[in-house]
Amino acid sequence: MTIKEQQDSIIEEFSFFSGWDEKYEHIIQMGKDLPLIDPKYKTDENLIRGCQSRVWLHADYKGGKIYFTADSDAVITKGLVGMVVRVLSGQTPKDIAGADIYFIDEIGLKSHLSITRSNGLLSMLKQMKMYGVAYQAKEI
């Protein structure tokens, strides 16, 4: 699936939920599906600092594609991280670097991308795109 297709499928999944609690239960569930970062990579170097919750992110480059693993100490953040990883993992550096991430807004979690929440999600997205840019440069 392309980045766009992955996002659209998440938006569709969320369209079935009527209450906020169902939505959050689904987010928490997606945190459980997140490909967990190998503990040896859970270092300060891979730590994305947010004001409140912490996120660790690791990137592997194989066969022209980037595969992400991650973790967070907060389960809602972990769910959001899981969704972003689902969208961007296994894509090419070029597609990741240029990705337009719109699904977070569409499913009503825009506040997680605001500066005030500072929960690491926005910083993580930037970091993932940086990996895209970095591996793109390597290819050339």
Kindly list the residues in this chain that would bind another protein in the complex (CB under 8 A): 20-21, 24-25, 28, 51-54, 73-77, 119
Q: Are 60 and 135 in contact (CB under 8 A)?
A: no
Q: CA angle 85-104-123, nearest 5°? A: 60
Least Cβ distance, residue 16 to another protein (angstroms): 18
Of the two residues 58 and 117, which places its CB atom closer to another protein in the complex?
117
Of the two residues 33 and 139, which places its CB atom closer to another protein in the complex?
33
The two structure tokens encoding residue 132: 């895209």
Least Cβ distance, residue 22 to another protein (angstroms): 10
Least Cβ distance, residue 134 to another protein (angstroms): 29
Cα 54 from Cα 48, distance rounded (Å): 6
Least Cβ distance, residue 84 to another protein (angstroms): 17
Identify the active-site residue in 1, 47, 51, 130. 51
Give yes or no: 51 in active site: yes
Of the two residues 19 and 63, which places its CB atom closer to another protein in the complex?
19
Per DSSP, the three-state class of 131 is: helix
Cα 140 from chain centre: 26
* 47-49: strand order across its sheet: 47-49, 54-62, 65-72
Of the two residues 77 and 89, which places its CB atom closer to another protein in the complex?
77
| Look-up of token digits 């980045």 | 3
Catalytic residues: 51
